[in-house]
Structure 1
């Protein structure tokens, strides 16, 4: 059974990582503190432990990745969450991004379509640190209408277009951050819901995400 240990070396590497992503342009000190507080190596296979604090993505199985820390910080900063906001995350993956949002004290609802990844997260002991995170196995395109509306929605996979059902689940005044594009490179968008059927779209930098797929995979 794996032991979870966060030693001085790992904490030092984490501080270097935070300094690195600060230099790349992340300015939200709450987001940087969340990255600094979370042992990223807990979310990876032990084979990656020695390189867990490099600023890059790593495979986690089922064709999925744990996102690059800069990307996690970038999306989180754009989302601009406040404590106790109700947030929907599409694509739990390793649960690293979910725990970053947990550090920011939001009430998080996170969906994973890959049953094997969902089951792994269910048995992951570190997530118990964040009782405000609720995990769901389901289709991200459908969202969670039962729990809507949400203050914020974060999509951590590349959508070919903005999913209409997710827009409907945003509160008026709410924001969604989503990478959009059908090719290898996507443009990061922030959508603000200004009325029941009115939206403002902001365009940011290019990124590369795994594709957002429909349905659930057992």
Structure 2
């Protein structure tokens, strides 16, 4: 048999974490810097992810699933960015008052949603996210946002390390190039969580809301 990426993982990295009983959506850095043409971080894949996320967010809010947004903000001096902003100097633009640091207007936070600021790739690193999820009794994180190869992947790894199931709706994450996007979705699905079609995630959300256990 010819060795391929897919069959080399069979029997070792083809398990599933499944969908738990208390999910929350983590909206990772879907800010205007990624969706505004001409900006340093602009990526068509992220524009698509934002559009695809509208339906998913509506479905989750309709059944009372918590939605938590993250965005990146730095002190004007950049001291809280450490080596990360030295490696990626364009991040220094993301400071309070900068319009490009705000959530894309197509998916604005609702009044009951939380918005957490972060300085590094993982949504868990140096933030209150883990404590918030534990406090809400969450067992499943539905990760949407950008970039697939950066903050989404870093958050997926930390999520499973904290004991949360990881679900990634593939249409609702984006990157600046198909290569790293596809490779990281493959790797997340192999090792850290379940990468599913958006429609399947919406069906799981609605089925969970309709279950007798949830109603009780």
Q: Considering the TM-score relative to the shorter chain, is it more than 0.5?
A: no
Q: Which has the higher contact order (CA 8 A, sep 6+)?
A: 2
Higher strand share: 1
Query: TM-score, normalising length from structure 2?
Result: 0.38
